[in-house]
Amino acid sequence: MESHETKYSNSVEEDYDINQDQAAVTRRIQRLSLHLNPISEPPVSSDRLQLLTCAGRAKINVSDEQLAKYLRGKHRDIQERVYEYFNAKPDLQTPLEISKDEHRELCMRQLVGLVREAGIRPFKYVVEDPVKYFAVVEAVGSVDMSLGIKLGVQYSLWGGSVLNLGTKKHKDKYFEGIDNMDYPGCFAMTELHHGSNVQGLQTIATFDPLRDEFIIDTPNDGAIKWWIGNAAVHGKFATVFAKLMLPTHDTKGVSDMGVHAFIVPIRDMKTHEVLPGIEIHDCGHKVGLNGVDNGALKFRSVRIPRDNLLNRFGDVSRDGKYTSSLPSINKRFAATLGELVGGRVGLAYSSVGVLKIAVTIAVRYSLLRQQFGPPKQPEISILDYQSQQHKLMPMLASTYAFHFATSYLVEKYAEMKKSRDEELVSDVHTLSAGLKAYVTSYTAKSLSTCREACGGHGYAAVNRFGSLRNDHDIFQTFEGDNTVLLQQVAVYLLKQYKEKFQGGTLTVTWNYLRESMNTYLSQPNPVTSRWEGEDHLRNPNFQLDAFRYRTSRLLQSVAFRLRKHSKTLGGFGAWNRCLNHLLTLAESHIESVILAKFIEAVRSCPDVSSRAALKLVCDLYALDRIWNDIGTYRNVDYVAPNKAKAIHKLTEYLSFQVKNIAKELVDGFELPDHVTRAPIGMQAAEEAYSQYAQCSGF
């Protein structure tokens, strides 16, 4: 945990304090008033927010074609090129049983074939059109997740570091080789002893003014670069993150200028032999993603030209003088990491793609599989059972919610890359951290749920849940550990909390906090806390207010606790004492953002039947989340007991309604059979069992 995170325990001034006793008295008076003068829920007026309700109790007639058209990104064409290329190349399709070494070589051939034969060049899109780049990444990841990660290492990490941290001379020298795969490379940041704490990296780059070179050294085994993708077998270059040390004329001898990035050749361009002074070892077989050749790098006095410093944020002259447009090590470090946020954006977006595949397979199988039924009547599909609906329908609703939220994130990231607006940069940094953490954690849990929901057949490797789960699992760790990323969200929320009380301007994503905090400070309305009508519960205003109220309550209470504990424990101790509270706060905020984007997507849908279907799914997402945290709402009297019961009942009914259109909803993802590649998840249900039997040799 970085020390700057702990500072906010002291930043909430005494002016922010709330008289808790007075607030409790106010609540009691309001409740007493309600009992003395009961008020029924008013009818919904015509000028209230329009509700897009289900057509009574009947099934919604929804066109999967219209739904797919609305969901479809503007770069669906390039995704279909990816699907068609690999579908036409059986020799490039990853078999079920393959060794680590064979998988690595296949993965490299897949990437080279995509670039050189299919003519899909993702690198130029990294800066010019990030939305298109992420569309390619999602499609490639559905072919083989190892391939998606290898592509990301080559173009987003290695290539992205050259484009984003270097200057024109670096782009001119390396762009073409990175683009056409002549220069396969690595991104060497993580060390054996340091992962999340990048400022604590120990690798050293010392400038030698006599030879105009940097000397890269690994000072101890803890500084060995570890888990470096492309390093074990294929990489020829590495972007190495190291502390830049400049010689001085004082007693210290050197001056530490902070972590910088350097281009270091690691293998000979012709012979592919490891270069002198560099030691490379294989990190070995992993839980998943074995098509990616992760390796460990150790440097012993490896010399590189001064020009190999990626010098966008800091440079060293021929005579050893350091210059930078940014005044401090912390500012330069923040700017460097800020340019690498695209990796988090890509992981959040790709994780939704994995979730779409898994939920599609599970839902199609659940519609196909029949088991038991009323006496002397045909068996019913397992999706007709409430327990199966409870497992899969909120998950399907979440998949839709995440689709719209991550699509919004990708668009904001693309806008940020063009405008470089400071507020937008801050917004995207926090939103990408939160969505990456929240979505990847949810997907990881859901993959196990999908496997279980498909019973024994879900355990067959051919039906993919095992490989999807194993390959995706690391999404929760790389590009920022999820627990660390959620703390970054909490830090920014506390900054905005402080800003709110100082009367400053809030950035776009946080605007709701001003109104929501005012609502929270005035305490719950004892009248609306009892309303339980379906129109009220399905009103987006109620749903979003409930999400935001919870976030505001968590924010105010954790700020109060941080200030209280910092007096005895200090900033770091107070942060650690409140850590679980802070993580819950961050997740609550991200859920609020996700719901807001889902509601916007429902309103914007031009097709009436698709809009009604999306409204149904959005309501299930919102009410399921409220019910899952109903204790929080009950504890502060935001929801009365009768209303809590109504929310639970309506959530179960909405799951039933979503079940009725589940086939159309998963078909809306437009995932052909050669992409899902699971016999039990085939679009043509009548062929599923025969295809499955063929996989076993029948």
Strand order, beta sheet including 225-228: 225-228, 295-299, 278-282
Alpha carbon distance 595, 586 (integer Å): 14
Would the annotation count 480 as a binding residue?
no
Pairing between β-strand 278-282 and β-strand 295-299 as defined by DSSP bridges: antiparallel
A 10 A CB-CB count for 507 gives 18
Tokens of 172: 């001119």
Rounded to an integer, what distance in angstroms lies between the CA atom of residue 402 and that of residue 423? 23
Write phi, then psi, for 645 (nearest 5 degrees). Answer: -65, -40
- Spatial CB neighbours of 658, under 8 Å, sequence gap ≥ 6: 389, 393, 396, 397, 616, 617, 620, 665
Distance CA 696, CA 641 (A): 53
123/155 Cα distance (integer angstroms):
6
The Cα–Cα gap between 679 and 665 comes to: 19
Half-sphere exposure (Cβ direction) of 264: Cα atoms closer than 13 Å: 35
Rg (C-alpha) for the chain, rounded Å, is 27
Q: Are 609 and 63 in contact (CB under 8 A)?
A: yes
Here the tokens at position 545 are 């207010």
Q: Establish whether 229 is an annotated binding residue.
A: yes
DSSP string, 72-130: --TTHHHHHHHHHHHHT-GGGSPPSS--HHHHHHHHHHHHHIIIIIS---THHHHHH-H
**What secondary structure letter does DSSP report for 183?**
S
* Amino acid found at 138: E
SS3 559: helix
Whether residue 75 contacts residue 132, with contact meaning beta carbons closer than 8 Å, is answered with yes
Q: At what angle do helices 579-604 and 422-453 cross, to 10 degrees?
A: 90
Percent of the chain as helix, strand, coil, to the nearest 5: 60, 10, 30
* Residue 515, token pair as written in the block: 């109104």
Q: CB of 359 within 8 A of CB of 666?
A: yes
Task: Give me the helices (H) in 232-379, please.
Answer: 329-338, 342-368
Q: Whole-angstrom distance between the N-terminal and C-terminal Cα of the chain?
A: 56
The DSSP element (H or E) to which 323 belongs, if any, is strand 322-323
- Residue 379 is a catalytic residue: no
The structure tokens listed for 549 are 């109220």
479, 591, 664, 670: which one is catalytic? Answer: 479
Give the integer Cα–Cα distance in Å for 68 and 575.
45
Active site amino acids: 479
Which residues contribute to the annotated binding site?
A: 190, 229
Q: Which residues define the annotated binding site for FAD?
A: 190, 229
